[in-house]
Amino acid sequence: MKTVPAGFPGGLRLQTHKRTTSEGLSRLVPLPERIILPLQQHIGLPPAPLVKVGDTVLKGQVIADSEHYVSVPLHASTSGRVSDMDMYPVAGGRTLCIVIEPDGQDRWSDIRPTHDYQGRDPKVVHKLIRACGIVGLGGAGFPTHVKVHEGVENEVHTLIINGVECEPYITCDDRLIREKAEYVVAGTRMMAHALKAGRSIIAVEEDMPEAATALEQALHGTQDIELIAVATCYPAGGEKQLVQALTGREVPSGGLAIHVGVVVQNVATAAATYRAVTRGEPVVSRYITVTGAVSQPGNLQVLLGSPVGDCLQMCDCDVDGRVVLGGPMMGRMLEDTAAPVTKTVNCILVGSAATVSTAEQPCIRCGNCVDVCPVRLMPHELHQAARADDLESLRELHLFDCIECGCCAYVCPSHIPLVLDYRNAKEAIAAQERRRVGADRARARFEERNARLHQQQQQRTPVSAPEDAAERLEYVRQAAARNKS
């Protein structure tokens, strides 16, 4: 296995705080009293419910689906009865959820494996990936079937399976690799077949030697998949940063990895693909790290929809401080531990009750944020434009190239919540774009209506027959055409 440098500007060398959770085996969280499944668990449009209150469902049964391209179905994570369908708390607010009261039997629906996937059309794997509700399980939540389909359409040459778990405290991918390395390797081969990719790479961070050893053993000396370690530097696991480190290709501003012939998927997504193909299992559970101010930190295997509070109890934690979903750099505050674990939750980080936020001070233009930005942005200028609601300047400053890694906020001596500013600005631009699209649609409908009314008026208005013979013949032809319409 070779090691490559991180290969991107800026970044940080952080204390990882990972040994407390990476060394112990993962534990199964018991079946909760109720399962709360948000419809929106991925990038794109949420699926529509296919069940109603009172219905009995089986584990793995599709309970919501959508015809939209950028969307995936939602599955019941256990068997039981649909007890409610209403707005429930999640990270960042409230959203529509389907609530299931488990019957304790955990009975599976009729799921079936796909035999001999290598001898079948890759489109079969595309459809299966979507049908099983697979999305990016590294935290982004982008529908996997879209990446795979677009990869084929754009003739992608390289598949990268991302195991570079660079954010401090989080070790769920490390633990998954150690315990299920054969799933990751087999899932990588299945994705490579679906993509028709000529090159496959599994990447881990340099400080994950046990995971690397597990993958080497699972590969059994085969040469179809490269195993590469990336030097430890945050955020080496970012998609664009990883592509640059492993291929030497730089993803252009505003572009995607697919634009340089690469598709990147998370190791948990690869393992989910293995389960989907070999067993027909949809995504109904995932590994998560629970750490921080807890008595028994570790990694858990959790059914989707299990309340965060249940996971904290499993780790003997009475919450007396802040709870973050995700890591310390990119995570989001959670207000209510009744919120459920979803497909994109990879970590529950509990802060000490003594944790106090330092008061924000004015920017002193020290330039620290510029030095550490891994995508060469000007964070202080983005901050000024965001506070001024200057959306046009934010676009010109390439706000959407920001990966929200948090490096700038980490080194800011004025303790300015830069990432929060950027997130709010992105939401404002997205809202403006939605209003513009709505206005364009309304204008198009108005113009279509006027054109239709004008055509109807012309059809009702009598036209005098011309005197010239050729013109009269054309007049008759047009009148006949109008009658046919």
- Tell me the per-residue pLDDT of 31-72, one tens digit each, with 9 for 90 and over: 999 999 999 999 999 999 999 999 999 999 999 999 999 999
Per-residue confidence (pLDDT) for residue 481, from 0 to 100: 57
Give the CA dihedral 88, 90, 93, 95, nearest 10 degrees. Answer: -50
Q: Is 467 exposed, middle or buried (0-12, 13-18, 19+ CB in 10 A)?
A: exposed
Q: Is 390 exposed, middle or buried (0-12, 13-18, 19+ CB in 10 A)?
A: middle
Give the tokens for residue 156. Answer: 């992608």
Q: What is the average pLDDT value for the chain, to the nearest integer?
A: 91
Half-sphere exposure of 420 (CA within 13 A, CB side): 8
Per-residue confidence (pLDDT) for residue 450, from 0 to 100: 82
Which amino acid belongs to residue 87? M
Please state the domain extents for the chain.
2-286, 287-350, 361-485
Residues 124-178 pLDDT 10s? 999 999 999 999 999 889 999 999 999 888 889 999 999 999 999 999 999 999 9
pLDDT bracket for residue 485 (50, 70, 90): very low
Per-residue confidence (pLDDT) for residue 78, from 0 to 100: 98
Residues 238-268 pLDDT 10s? 999 999 999 999 999 888 899 999 999 999 9
**Ranges assigned E (strand) in 15-55:** 27-28, 35-38, 48-49
Give the tokens for residue 457. Answer: 């008026």
Give the tokens for residue 9. Answer: 């500007």
Between 479 and 458, name the one with better pLDDT. Answer: 458
Packing angle between helix 379-387 and helix 418-460, nearest 10 degrees? Answer: 60
Residues 284-302 pLDDT 10s? 999 999 999 999 999 999 9
2-286 carries CATH number 3.40.50.150:
no
pLDDT of 120 strictly over 90: no
